[in-house]
Amino acid sequence: MATGRGRTLQQHWLGVQEQRLPLRGPGAVREKAPRGARGAGAFGFRKELGVNLAAGYASLRQCARGKQRGKKASAGCAVFLDRMPPEILLKIFSYLDDVSLLLTGCVNRRFYHLTNDNFIWMRIYSIAFSPKRFNWDVDSVEETAVSMSILSVEDKETGYWKKEYIRKQIASVKTSVAHVLQYVNPYTGLPAKTKEALRMSGLGWAIILKEKSGKEYIMEHVDLSINDTSVTVGWYGKNWPCLASLSTLYLYGVTPVFRDWYKNPTQNRPRWRSLIAKYNLSLLTDSAMIGCDRLIRICCLQPGLLVGLWKKEEELAFVMANLHFRHLLERSTLGSATIPYELPPHSPLLNNSPEYGLYGYQLHVDLHSSGIFYLCAAFRNLFTTKGDIENGYAKLIVINSKNNSDHLPLVGKIGLFWRTNVVDGYIKSCSIMDLTLSDMRREPFWCFSSPVCMKLSAAPLDGPHFLGETYFVDYMDEEGRVHVEMVWIRETEEYFIVNLVLYLSIAKVNHWFGTKY
């Protein structure tokens, strides 16, 4: 065994020497054989073995040269593919599926025009949308239909059946989603199966960070939480661009073009972008900050965007978008890459009631963070009067501080959970508020999902005196304001909501109901 291993090592060494010999030139002197070699050649091996080894090394050198030629051939293979006749390329492309055809068309201009071939796309179209057949016999009527379809292929312009296929794919998804969304939750007035519709559509979300120079960074969402009336989407990672160089953040809904997206999930599949909102990052100042801990501080940009910044570096740590269910599918799919989806014009339902539009409201409100709900409550038969209209707002009292039976406890201590790829954290007194206010017809009148912050109240509450620290939460947008007052009960270590008031914009009430308050 030892002799065999020694021969193997000698053969390996001989191969190394054979490779070095051409570098020495033709006049190189060979090393002398060691003394004591019996019946050996120049290197102390038997002549028969030396001949066989030489032949083997020659074969190895030929193999190496063949590999080098193979590399050169493969390098020229791509050029040769581009120079193929169109008939051969069309035959190759006819074996591709719809996604592969679209990706191939992005290679160059010639491939783009070839992959628009009507015969290829009509075959894909007929396979995807032709009615199911249970009889394999082809009658004269079907033969006539086939011949007519061939004529229609020749008559149509190039790319017609490709556009038809994509259009019908999108229409089929929209039809299925609309069928699911027709069922309405009687408590919120929102579609009852929004979660199922999100799954069917394959909807996702992405952000684009744009620098002042025009350079853009695209990030796909890495965290998703579906709540009762909203969706919380998160982005975090290592490769954030420098905050000082950024100017704008764009929030997009991203939808797969083809319905079979779930078979091969990949970011390279064709997708449709719909602009939801645009945010000015220069507004990330101290006035936008709503909370902090020892590592980060969080800022709120309306509508519903939460931005986490590292305290030490003043750079991005995470981004969190809070999207209400109202018109979520439409806003995430029906807009374009540059223009958001516009809601259809509202037609008010006129009524001769003297205080029409001031009664019959229904409220659903949540306070939550990362799937933990601190409050989930519903209120019916809410109303206001003309005498409660002041400074352009109608005051709608939901929880009265003077009525102890209205007061509601919160579950646990309010806080906002955040996450990055490095560390997790928790910010006290912050959470996400989801509000859905429906009118007398159970149609959503005012909806939002936004980060809010609970602050310590310096002045005592109006009404009865409560034993404990008092806090308040305020929110405001163009449609109204929310004011919440809480009391911290130290003995039971829980918060109680003792006052909840909504201020509805009279301009919105008049527009919605056709009134003139």
**Span 337-346, pLDDT tens digits:** 899 999 888 8
Helix or strand run (H / E) with residue 445:
strand 444-453
Residue 178 has pLDDT above 70, yes or no: yes
Q: Under the phi-then-psi rule, with left for phi > 0, alpha for psi from -120 to 50, and beta for the rest, what region is 465?
A: beta
Residue 421 near residue 238 (C-beta atoms within 8 A)? yes
Task: Tell me whether the omega of the peptide bond preceding residue 303 falls within 30 degrees of 0, making it cis.
Answer: yes
Distance CA 164, CA 166 (A): 6
Distance CA 492, CA 373 (A): 19
Please provide the DSSP assignment of 250-296 as one string: EEEEEEESSGGGGTS--TTS-EEEEEEEEEEGGG-SGGGEEEE-SSE
For residue 329, give the 3-state DSSP assignment. Answer: helix
For residue 455, give the 3-state DSSP assignment. Answer: strand
Predicted pLDDT at 354: 83
Predicted pLDDT at 46: 39
- Which range has the worst mean pLDDT, 36-40, 408-412, 429-433? 36-40
Nearest to 497 by CA among 505, 489, 507, 509: 489
Percentage of residues in the chain with pLDDT exceeding 90? Answer: 41
Chain centroid to CA 396: how far? 37
Nearest to 454 by CA among 469, 433, 440, 473: 473
Residue 30 has pLDDT above 50, yes or no: no
For residue 433, give the 3-state DSSP assignment. Answer: strand
| Domains with residue ranges and CATH for the chain | 83-130+154-182 (1.20.1280.50), 193-259+268-332 (no CATH), 359-513 (no CATH)
The 10s digit of each residue's pLDDT in 310-339 is 988 889 999 999 999 999 988 998 888 899
Predicted pLDDT at 383: 92
Residue 439 has pLDDT above 50, yes or no: yes
Q: What is the mean pLDDT of residues 415-430?
A: 92
Q: How confident is the model at residue 132 (pLDDT cuts 50, 70, 90)?
A: low
Q: How confident is the model at residue 410 (pLDDT cuts 50, 70, 90)?
A: very high
Higher-pLDDT residue of 106, 290: 290
Predicted pLDDT at 144: 42
Is 0.85 surpassed by the pTM of this model?
no
For residue 301, give the 3-state DSSP assignment. Answer: strand
Tokens at 488, concatenated: 């911290």
Distance CA 272, CA 253 (A): 8
Of 34-38, 76-80, 391-395, highest mean pLDDT: 391-395
Q: How confident is the model at residue 68 (pLDDT cuts 50, 70, 90)?
A: low
Predicted pLDDT at 10: 53
